């Protein structure tokens, strides 16, 4: 049963901004927020250092209720998100990336879902990926549905699509907020929420179009990413987020995948970790 938009609570948007983002891409992302059928009460742009003039100009031009939160720079995504979440006023917070596009009813669908299910600390949805043209999808990053299935899935892979997440601010802060876990800031948060006994789930239909490309794939391969993943998994064992036998198994399985050449990793992700969008 849907909840009338007039009866829905206000929500904030949390958008991290790096200085290397493209101004035209940011413009498109902000326009997709303007087009929301359920408009945001607040858009917190948490900047990893002062934005360059070209990005600042795009932020000034938008009609959105923007609030800039500036940091010293070169902190990484975890501290940028943690500072931004503290600046959010509303309990429901929509996560959004500066290079993605929200579908027009994203906020309406997700806010309604969180109102209907007060037990949820966070939820996301399948993520439609594109490279150049949003009308030409290149794949869909699926996620599990149902609390039991999601909990089992989380032992192997990230159970939520971070660019499509809506969360309850108080639950996330109670779990310790975002932390500095390079490459795994969101996965770390979901595991901590699950350890607390909080519930997570996913919608059936996509709500975000995510821009991907060679650079996106490149961030998930190589020695640096493999070492960061090893550190993350070790911390998961130390903090009892994952059992040590499971951590040992993942440490044996994951590094060889991260060291595959880009074409091999791309093939693996497209065949095993993605499905082609329905035509």
pLDDT at 3 over 80: no
Q: What is the pTM of this model?
A: 0.90
How far apart CA 57 and CA 44 sit, in angstroms, is 16
Q: Which CATH class is domain 7-181+199-213?
A: alpha beta
Cβ 55 vs Cβ 17: under 8 Å: yes
Note the pLDDT tens digit of each residue in 136-158. Answer: 898 899 999 998 999 999 999 99
For the chain, what are the domain ranges? Answer: 7-181+199-213
How far apart CA 269 and CA 101 sit, in angstroms, is 22
> Positive or negative, the Cα torsion across 106, 187, 25, 265?
negative
Provide the pLDDT for residue 196.
Answer: 96
Note the pLDDT tens digit of each residue in 35-90. Answer: 999 999 999 999 999 999 999 999 999 999 999 999 998 899 999 999 999 999 99
How far apart CA 262 and CA 206 sit, in angstroms, is 27
Provide the pLDDT for residue 215.
Answer: 60
pLDDT at 268 over 90: no
Q: What percent of the chain has pLDDT over 70?
A: 89
How far apart CA 211 and CA 259 sit, in angstroms, is 23
Q: What percent of the chain has pLDDT over 90?
A: 78
Provide the pLDDT for residue 276.
Answer: 39
Provide the pLDDT for residue 279.
Answer: 34
CB-neighbour burial class of residue 197 (10 A; exposed 0-12, middle 13-18, buried 19+): exposed
How far apart CA 85 and CA 14 sit, in angstroms, is 7
Note the pLDDT tens digit of each residue in 98-122. Answer: 999 999 999 999 999 999 999 999 9
Residue keyed to tokens 């006994």: 197
pLDDT at 277 over 50: no
How far apart CA 1 and CA 70 sit, in angstroms, is 40
Provide the pLDDT for residue 266.
Answer: 57
Cβ 131 vs Cβ 212: under 8 Å: yes
Whole-number average pLDDT of the chain: 90
User: What average pLDDT does range 166-180 have in this prediction?
Assistant: 98
How far apart CA 54 and CA 21 sit, in angstroms, is 10
pLDDT band at 235 (very low <50, low <70, confident <90, very high): very high
Provide the pLDDT for residue 212.
Answer: 86
For 174-228, the three-class secondary structure string (H helix, E strand, C coil) is: HCCCCCCCCCCHHHHHHHHHHHHCCEEEECCCCCEEEECCHHHHHCCCCHHHHHH
For residue 167, list its beta bridge partners: 93, 122
């Amino acid at each position: 049963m849907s909840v009338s938009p007039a009866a829905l609570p206000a929500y904030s948007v949390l958008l991290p901004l790096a200085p290397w983002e493209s101004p035209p891409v940011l413009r498109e992302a902000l326009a997709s927020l303007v087009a929301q059928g359920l408009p945001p009460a607040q858009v917190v742009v948490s900047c990893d250092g002062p934005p360059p003039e070209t990005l600042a100009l795009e932020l000034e031009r938008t009609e959105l209720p923007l609030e800039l939160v500036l940091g010293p720079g070169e902190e990484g995504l975890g501290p940028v998100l943690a500072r931004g979440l503290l600046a959010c006023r509303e309990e429901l917070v929509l996560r959004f990336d500066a290079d993605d596009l929200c579908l027009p009813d994203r906020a309406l669908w997700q806010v309604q879902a969180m109102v209907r299910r007060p037990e949820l600390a966070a939820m996301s949805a399948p993520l439609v990926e594109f490279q150049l043209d949003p009308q030409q999808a290149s794949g869909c990053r699926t996620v599990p549905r149902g609390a039991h299935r999601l909990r089992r899935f989380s032992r192997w892979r990230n159970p939520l699509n971070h660019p499509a997440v809506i969360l309850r601010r108080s639950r996330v802060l109670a779990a310790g907020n975002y932390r500095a876990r390079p490459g795994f800031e969101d996965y770390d948060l979901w595991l901590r929420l699950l350890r607390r006994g909080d519930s997570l789930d996913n919608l059936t239909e996509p709500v975000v179009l995510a821009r991907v490309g060679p650079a996106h794939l490149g961030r998930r391969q190589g020695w640096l990413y493999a070492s960061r993943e090893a550190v993350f998994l070790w911390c998961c064992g130390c903090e009892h987020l994952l059992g040590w036998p499971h951590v040992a198994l993942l440490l044996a399985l994951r590094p060889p995948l991260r060291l595959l050449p880009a074409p091999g990793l791309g093939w693996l992700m497209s065949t095993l970790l993605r499905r082609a969008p329905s035509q």
